[in-house]
Amino acid sequence: MDKLKKEKLQKKGWIVGDVDEFLGLSPAEMVIVEMKVALAKALVAKRKALGETQVSAAIIAQTSQSRYAKVEHADSSVSLELMIKTFFALGATKKELLKTLSE
């Protein structure tokens, strides 16, 4: 957001900041959120590239469709570890994982 727009909003009483400021996240927590979002996008892309539905991908990952949907949406109840396991279950490699997390 440009400086002028930010100043106008602040004059009108709006609080302007970043997501991490709004949620009170530490820098480490913000990195984890960013990693989960990147991995969720990669999971959707991987599933679609394989021509799978959420139901069929859930079967591959040995979970329920509802749990799989939560993984794809980076739900707060889903751990980063579960997201990584699911990514590997769909055939992703370590190289793909590292590329996803480094972008």
Domain segments of the chain: what residues?
A: 18-102
How far, in Å, are 16, 17, 78, 90, 96 from residue 71 at the CA level?
30, 28, 6, 13, 17
Question: Do 72 and 28 meet the contact criterion of CB atoms below 8 Å apart?
Answer: no
Q: In which band, very low, low, confident or very high, does the pLDDT at 57 lie, cut at 50, 70 and 90?
A: very high
Instruction: Please tell me the predicted confidence (pLDDT) of residue 38.
Output: 97
Quote the CA–CA distance of 85 and 44 in Å, as a whole number: 14
Q: Is the pTM of this model over 0.75?
A: yes
Q: CA-CA distance, 97 to 80, in Å (whole number)?
A: 12
CA distances from 60 to 41, 72, 88, 100 (A): 18, 14, 10, 21
Task: Provide CATH code, domain 18-102.
Answer: 1.10.260.40
- pLDDT for residue 19 is more than 80: no
Q: For residues 100 and 80, what is the distance between their CA atoms, to the nearest angstrom?
A: 13
Q: Is the pLDDT of residue 53 over 90?
A: yes
